[in-house]
């Protein structure tokens, strides 16, 4: 959605009543920043299983395993 943020902002302001454009922009910004702040932690807590490409923890790759090597 970030690629279309300019068109979403323009649409929100264009459809707002002239007397409420400042409040519309304030709410638009507040909701956007709130979603971008809380979205990643919420996804991390709520996703049911690892996403494709997630490595996760594999037995034997910790620092205490003999296969990990020195260092």
What does the pLDDT read at residue 45? 86
Structural domain for 28, as ranges: 9-44
User: Rounded mean pLDDT of 58-63?
Assistant: 55
Please choose, from the candidates 34, 43, 32, the residue with its C-alpha nearest in 3D space to the C-alpha of residue 1: 32
Any domain includes 36? yes
Any domain includes 56? no
Q: How far apart are CA 23 and CA 16, in angstroms?
A: 9
For the chain, how many structural domains are there in total? 1
- The pTM of this model reads 0.54
pLDDT tens digits, one per residue of 8-58: 888 888 999 999 999 999 999 999 899 899 998 888 888 777 667 666 655
Q: How far apart are CA 44 and CA 22, in angstroms?
A: 34
Binned at pLDDT 50, 70 and 90, residue 6 comes out as confident
Q: How far apart are CA 67 and CA 61, in angstroms?
A: 7
Any domain includes 37? yes
Any domain includes 14? yes
Any domain includes 27? yes
- Is the pLDDT at 4 greater than 80? The verdict is no
Please name the residues in contact with 13: beta carbons below 8 A apart, sequence gap of 6 or more: 21, 24, 25, 28
Any domain includes 13? yes
């Amino acid at each position: 959605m970030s690629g279309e943020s300019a068109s979403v902002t323009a649409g929100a302001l264009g459809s707002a009543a002239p007397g409420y454009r400042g409040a519309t922009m304030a709410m638009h910004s507040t909701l956007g920043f709130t979603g971008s702040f809380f979205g990643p932690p919420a996804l991390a807590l709520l996703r049911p299983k690892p996403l494709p490409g997630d490595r996760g923890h594999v037995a034997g790759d910790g620092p205490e395993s003999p296969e990990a090597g020195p260092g």
